[in-house]
């Protein structure tokens, strides 16, 4: 968790355009499965959409995301789009997903596993 806490106001957060849709889906599932209270899910969603994240929607990132997904043996390209975005932006990928972290290392994309 130390790395997450070291982000400053001068750091720019960048993500593919699907970030908020994916997070909304996860929070909806958690509330549906009663893993968290609905009010908590709504509060987290409200906080999420207020984050100063620059959303990237560049259609030229889809072919590299496809290639990344194929090279990693993945059926879907959602995670690969995060990797393609990090690579395109020359950005460090911050992730809580160990598999995503491992994939980024295989592709020589800077990444930090946030705990």
Each residue's pLDDT tens digit, 58-103: 999 999 999 999 999 999 999 999 999 999 999 999 998 999 999 9
Q: Are residues 66 and 22 in the same domain?
A: no
On whether residue 70 sits in a domain, the answer given is yes
pLDDT given for residue 4 in this prediction: 61
Structural domains of the chain, count: 2
Q: What integer best gives the mean pLDDT of the chain?
A: 93
> Alpha-carbon distance 79 to 6, whole Å?
24
Using pLDDT thresholds of 50, 70 and 90, give the confidence band for residue 2.
very low
Domain with 16 in it: 12-55
Q: Are residues 76 and 35 in the same domain?
A: no
Tokens 């043996």 correspond to: 73
* Residue 54 CB-density burial (10 A; 0-12 exposed, 13-18 middle, 19+ buried): exposed
Q: Are residues 73 and 51 in the same domain?
A: no
pLDDT given for residue 3 in this prediction: 55
- The share of the chain scoring above pLDDT 90, in percent, equals 87
pLDDT given for residue 109 in this prediction: 95
On whether residue 2 sits in a domain, the answer given is no
Distance of CA 6 to the CA centre of its chain: 18
pLDDT given for residue 105 in this prediction: 94
Q: Are residues 98 and 110 in the same domain?
A: yes
Cut 0.85: pTM above it: yes
> Alpha-carbon distance 90 to 84, whole Å?
10
Higher pLDDT, 4 or 28: 28
């Amino acid at each position: 968790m130390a790395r997450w806490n070291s982000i400053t106001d001068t750091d720019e957060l960048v993500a593919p355009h699907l970030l908020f849709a994916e997070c909304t889906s996860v929070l909806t599932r958690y509330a549906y499965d009663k893993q968290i209270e609905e009010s908590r899910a709504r509060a987290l969603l409200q906080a999420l959409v207020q984050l100063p994240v620059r959303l990237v929607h560049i259609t030229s990132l889809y072919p590299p995301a496809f290639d990344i997904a194929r090279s990693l043996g993945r059926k879907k390209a959602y995670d690969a789009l995060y990797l393609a975005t990090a690579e395109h932006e020359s950005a460090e990928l911050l992730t809580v997903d160990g598999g995503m972290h491992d994939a980024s290392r295989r592709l020589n994309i800077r990444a930090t596993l946030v705990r």
